[in-house]
Structure 1
């Protein structure tokens, strides 16, 4: 299992970004979570096979139609605990 922490910058809150990430994760079979951060970014922890994690990173770069992704940071997070499925309810304020 490969795990990555993804921080997404730009207009990514209030545009359905978390739901988009959760839908992509469910479609691909990823484990993890996604949440809004107080600084206006969105953070996701995504785990699965290498190809799956790369597909999730690509989806995060694209985002939903109303989002404007200006930058994405991908950090290794192997060893961090993951839920069995994917949680998009978390918010960090």
Structure 2
């Protein structure tokens, strides 16, 4: 199992991005978390298999209808923790 830490830049706060990300992760069978950052971005950690993570990253570039994603940064590594669900963090 792999993990992907990601940061999404653009108009991604106040547009339901975290809830959309949680729904997407559940649809793809991923676990992890997502949260807003103080600089206006969205950050998260997703755990799953390579193919699931690739689909997830691809879809992060789209976001929900009101979002305007300008950039997605990500880094993959071997999973360090076991997380049993995908949660929205405050």
How far the C-alpha of 1:86 sits from its partner, in A, is: 0.4
Report the counterpart of residue 9 of structure 1 in structure 2: 9
Which residue of structure 2 aligns with residue 69 of structure 1? 69
Q: How does 1:4-43 map to 2 (within 5 A)?
A: 4-43=4-43
Deviation at 1:82, TM superposition (A): 4.1
**Unpaired runs of 5+ in structure 2?**
none
Q: Is the 8 A contact 1:21 1:59 kept in 2?
A: no
Query: Which consecutive aligned stretches of 4+ in structure 1 deviate over 3 angstroms post-superposition?
Result: none
User: TM-score, with normalisation over the residues of structure 2?
Assistant: 0.93
Distance in 1 between residues matched to 2:3 and 2:44, nearest whole Å: 10
Structure-2 residue corresponding to 1:57:
57
Q: Distance in 1 between matches of 2:36 and 2:78?
A: 21
TM-score by length of 1: 0.91
The aligned length equals: 90
